[in-house]
């Protein structure tokens, strides 16, 4: 009895450890429906520069998988709708795809999800009947390779899969999709895979601006929408849409399936009728989204529930059909310059634009004087990167600002970071006479020098900065508790082993 109790206690500790030490993540969708995008290796450099750790792609392109090899970036790859018929009809097709398109690049390319089909209920040919058989065949192929516990299989959906989404407690799946949804949900529950949803509060606002306020869509509302059935209070549409999906799942008794947002975002440009599509609104939405997700606040119906989210999209895609907004969801232009300022780590909004001349808008930078002695420059770098609280990781070996490897270059990066973080004042660029103000951007290649506008970016930046504090403290507490729980778990297991040795 005692050993059974200890075993149960050990398992409970392990479960608690896994739960507490995980957290929500924010990734980005890397769509390639364009003819002017940089090569995959250049895209990977950009992703690493911006500290993006999770990426979704819409196929299993070999060049893309090769580019992501050994980067540590977690990938979500896809079986496109055009392949569903082949994958659903014959197991051999799924086996061959895994053998030829995935296994040669895994685990160097860190693939964690395979999505089978893209919003099939929205596709013109409605290939929904093919999805679940294709999912089963992909899973069977993974099992043969021993990867079914490492790579999860699911499918992505639009919010159109629901017939009702308001109030959230009345969320319900569209009955016309019942024959497809029931077996798919059973598959997800059995294999502990997430229900993947593409959510766009932008469309709700664009199509019904009199019913949906812009602030409510942008996470900026000061008022609350009350669900009359539950009394739950909602301050943003994103949470309301997520909870509508959770209530729809619970109505069908699928209470264990987690929700993952595989697309969300806001366009930075649109047609004359799309007045909400602006860079400021896009920055506000995505900044507030990151704050909301990384804080692990959950939703009113699922407080504290982790939620993984992928922002659409990495680049503007000039070949996408439809209204002007469809081609302007990107975080970056094809030349890799930022459309607006965004930071995926939750540490605050940084100005990562690749401007070459700041004199037109009054922007200045601070660099090191070429006449300063090496000893003075080294002392200044040590101070800036220490007591000055400058993040000097970019000038470390193999990082984007390490080359050229000399003190003037390294000091210039450190000087400018301190200068921008402290109001871009003359005093902040003094460094004992070793700093020099310039009006030409010293950025080069992938080494981006900060500007003052990105360090203190109105309310959105302040909110994101707040996230950083709470996120960091959560990480510290998590680390301490995880160590404690893991140590305790090991002790329990060793004790059980000793008891077994004595028994035999």
Give catalytic residues, as residue numbers. 119, 263
The Cα–Cα gap between 471 and 459 comes to 18
Of the candidates 347, 313, 349, the residue with the CA atom closest to the CA atom of residue 333: 313
**Structure-token match 């017939």, residue found:** 163
Distances (CA, A) of 113 to 78, 135, 262, 307: 8, 12, 11, 15
Q: Both tokens of residue 141?
A: 């192929």
E strand or H helix that includes residue 217: helix 214-217
Of the candidates 166, 351, 331, the residue with the CA atom closest to the CA atom of residue 264: 331
**Structure-token match 């009006």, residue found:** 439
The Cα–Cα gap between 65 and 68 comes to 5
Beta strand pairing status for 152-158 and 195-198? parallel
Residues 371/435, Cβ–Cβ less than 8 Å = no
Give 111's strand partners.
75
Interhelix angle 407-421/374-385, rounded to 10 degrees, is 40
Rounded to the nearest 5°, which phi and psi values hold at 164?
-140, 140
**3-state DSSP assignment of residue 55:** strand
Give 298's strand partners.
303
The Cα–Cα gap between 442 and 356 comes to 8
Q: Both tokens of residue 170?
A: 């009345």
């Amino acid at each position: 009895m005692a050993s059974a109790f200890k075993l149960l206690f050990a398992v409970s500790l392990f479960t608690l450890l896994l739960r507490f030490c995980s957290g929500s993540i924010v990734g980005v969708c890397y769509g390639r429906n364009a003819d002017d995008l940089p090569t995959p290796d250049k895209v990977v450099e950009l992703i690493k520069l911006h500290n993006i750790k999770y990426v979704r792609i819409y196929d299993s392109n070999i060049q893309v998988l090769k580019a992501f090899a050994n980067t540590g970036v977690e990938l979500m790859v896809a079986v496109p709708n055009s392949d569903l018929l082949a994958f659903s009809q014959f197991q051999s097709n799924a086996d061959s795809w895994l053998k030829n398109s995935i296994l040669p690049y895994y685990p160097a390319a860190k693939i964690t999800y395979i999505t089978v089909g893209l919003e099939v209920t929205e596709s013109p040919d409605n290939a929904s009947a093919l999805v679940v058989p294709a999912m089963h065949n992909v899973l069977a192929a993974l099992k043969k390779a021993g990867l079914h516990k490492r790579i999860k299989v699911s499918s992505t959906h639009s919010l159109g899969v629901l017939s009702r989404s308001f109030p959230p407690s009345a969320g319900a799946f569209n009955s016309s999709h019942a024959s497809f949804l029931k077996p798919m949900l059973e598959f997800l529950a059995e294999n502990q895979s997430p229900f993947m949803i593409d959510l766009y509060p932008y469309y709700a606002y664009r199509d019904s601006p009199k019913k949906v306020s812009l602030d409510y869509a942008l996470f900026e509302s000061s008022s609350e929408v009350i669900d009359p059935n539950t009394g739950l209070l909602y301050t943003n549409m994103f949470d309301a849409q997520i909870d509508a999906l959770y209530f729809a799942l619970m109505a069908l008794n699928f209470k264990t399936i987690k929700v993952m947002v595989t697309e969300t975002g806001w366009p930075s440009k649109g047609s004359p009728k799309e007045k909400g599509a602006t860079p400021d609104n896009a920055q506000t939405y995505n900044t507030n989204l990151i704050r909301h997700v990384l804080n692990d606040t959950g939703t009113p119906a699922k407080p504290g529930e982790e939620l993984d989210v992928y922002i659409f999209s990495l680049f503007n895609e000039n070949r996408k059909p439809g209204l002007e907004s469809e081609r302007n969801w990107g975080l970056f232009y094809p030349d890799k310059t930022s459309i607006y300022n965004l930071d995926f780590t939750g540490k605050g909004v940084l100005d990562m634009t690749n401007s070459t001349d700041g004199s037109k808008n009054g922007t200045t930078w601070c660099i090191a004087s070429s006449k300063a002695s090496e000893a003075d420059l080294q002392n200044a770098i040590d101070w800036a990167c220490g007591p000055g609280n400058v993040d000097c990781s970019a000038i470390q070996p193999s990082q984007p600002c390490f080359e050229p490897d000399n003190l003037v270059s390294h000091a210039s990066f450190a000087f400018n970071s301190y200068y921008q973080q402290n109001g871009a004042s003359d005093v902040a660029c003094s460094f004992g006479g070793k700093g020099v103000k310039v009006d030409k951007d010293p950025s080069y290649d992938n080494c981006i020098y900060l500007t003052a506008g990105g360090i203190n970016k109105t309310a959105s930046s302040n909110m994101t900065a707040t996230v950083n504090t709470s996120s960091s403290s959560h990480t510290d507490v998590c680390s301490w508790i995880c160590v404690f729980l893991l140590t305790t778990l090991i002790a329990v297991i060793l004790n059980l082993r000793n008891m077994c040795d004595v028994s035999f």
